[in-house]
């Protein structure tokens, strides 16, 4: 929330704010600390100083407006029963307020609103960025014959989707059937190996068994589809290498 932060306020100003806050608390509750006006004011001043010290020690990065809101909500039992004003009560209210979901959401919203707006990319700029990542993936595979998601640019599935959607990587029906069958076999073998390694871990075994059941019974299991995409991309890359065709030339030909 906007407002003065506790840690940048002068000690005297902070104490005055807290004395005013303590006074407001007693006005709202209709109570007094002492019978005599003089004793009451002295105790309000002492309590205000204690509140100020508590803020400096434990809540330096709250704003004064947040402190007032926490007290406002605390008096209305938003953070549990209220048994009187004390430094402990004040501390508990502020601790609860710091974890208040609405406060966190408000801060996140303000941070987002204060962030400088980035100019939106044009379709051409978006395409250029995607193709740069695809080419990094291609160049890594061309060099190592392996997919490496960390060093090879974009994720393998992202590369496949882009190349396939833009009709750069095309496959016949027969090829798709072949990739699907091989993918199902690969996934089942991988899950079987994982099941052997997971012996003794009941949670992992249940998850693997469930994945195997899905692969067996669902024609379009996401595990199989993703594996098939990788096999298809691998086949496409290998074909380009054999034909000595560079993917960058194909991409430029589409621009």
255 has a pLDDT exceeding 70: no
What per-residue confidence (pLDDT) applies to 32?
Answer: 63
226 with 166, same domain: the answer is yes
End-to-end alpha carbon distance in the chain: 48
Q: What is the pLDDT of residues 46-69, one digit of tens each?
A: 999 999 999 999 898 888 888 988
Residues 73 and 92 in one domain: yes
231 found inside a domain: yes
Give a yes or no: residue 98 inside a domain: yes
Tell me, yes or no, whether 96 and 127 share the same domain. Answer: no
Please state the pTM of the whole predicted model: 0.50
In the predicted model, what is the mean pLDDT of residues 23-43?
Answer: 74
Torsion of CA 50, 93, 65, 84, to 10 degrees: -60
Contacts from 76-84 at CB under 8 Å and sequence distance 24+? none
Weakest mean pLDDT among 150-154, 169-173, 205-209, 236-240: 150-154
pLDDT of residue 152: 43
Domain boundary among 114, 148, 168: 114
As a 3-state breakdown, the chain gives helix, strand, coil percent values, each rounded to 5, of 75, 0, 25
Q: Does residue 187 lie within any of the structural domains?
A: yes
Q: Are residues 214 and 150 in the same domain?
A: yes
Last residue of a domain, one of 93, 114, 135: 114
- Other C-beta atoms closer than 10 Å to the C-beta of 160 total 23
The whole-chain average pLDDT of the chain stands at 82
d(CA 230, CA 245): 20
Query: Are residues 169 and 100 both part of a single domain?
Result: no
Same domain, 109 and 147: no
Are 138 and 248 part of one and the same domain?
yes
pLDDT tier for residue 3 given thresholds of 50, 70 and 90: low
- Of 68, 84, 114, which closes a domain? 114
Number of structural domains found in the chain:
2
**Both 89 and 136 in a single domain?**
no
Give me the pLDDT at residue 234, please.
Answer: 93
For 65-114, the pLDDT digits (tens) are: 889 888 888 888 887 777 677 888 888 888 888 887 677 776 677 667 77
Q: Give the whole-angstrom CA distance, residue 69 versus residue 251.
A: 58
pLDDT for 153 beyond 80: no
Residue 23 lies in a domain: yes
79 and 110 share one domain: yes
**97 and 201 assigned to the same domain:** no
Is the residue at 1 inside a domain? no
Tell whether the model's pLDDT for residue 136 goes beyond 70: yes
Q: How confident is the model at residue 206 (pLDDT cuts 50, 70, 90)?
A: confident
Q: What is the mean pLDDT of residues 207-224?
A: 74
Domain that holds residue 207: 123-254
Indicate whether 109 and 130 sit together in one domain. Answer: no
Same domain for 74 and 182: no
Instruction: Quote the CA–CA distance of 158 and 232 in Å, as a whole number.
Output: 13
Where is average pLDDT lowest: 41-55, 89-103, 127-141, 170-184?
A: 89-103
């Amino acid at each position: 929330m906007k407002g003065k932060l506790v840690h940048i306020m002068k000690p005297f100003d902070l104490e005055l704010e807290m004395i005013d806050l303590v006074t407001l608390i007693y006005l709202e509750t209709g109570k007094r600390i002492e019978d005599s006006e003089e004793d009451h004011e002295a105790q309000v001043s002492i309590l205000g100083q204690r509140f100020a010290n508590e803020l400096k020690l434990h809540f330096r990065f709250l704003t004064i407006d947040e402190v007032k809101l926490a007290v406002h909500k605390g008096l209305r039992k938003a953070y549990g029963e209220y048994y009187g004003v004390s430094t402990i009560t004040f501390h508990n209210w502020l601790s609860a307020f710091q974890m208040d979901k609405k406060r966190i959401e408000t801060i996140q919203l303000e941070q987002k609103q204060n962030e400088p707006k980035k100019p939106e990319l044009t379709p051409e700029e978006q395409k250029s960025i995607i193709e740069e990542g695809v080419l990094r993936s291609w160049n890594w595979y061309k060099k190592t014959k392996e997919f490496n998601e960390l060093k090879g640019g974009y994720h393998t599935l992202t590369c496949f989707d882009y190349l396939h959607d833009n009709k750069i990587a095309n496959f016949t029906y027969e090829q798709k059937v072949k990739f699907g069958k091989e993918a199902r076999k690969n996934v089942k073998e991988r899950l079987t190996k994982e099941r052997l390694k997971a012996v003794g871990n009941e949670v992992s075994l249940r998850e693997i068994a469930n994945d195997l059941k899905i692969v067996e019974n669902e024609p379009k299991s996401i595990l199989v589809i993703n594996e098939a995409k990788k096999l298809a991309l691998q086949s496409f890359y290998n074909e380009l290498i054999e034909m000595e065709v560079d993917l960058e030339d194909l991409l430029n030909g589409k621009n």
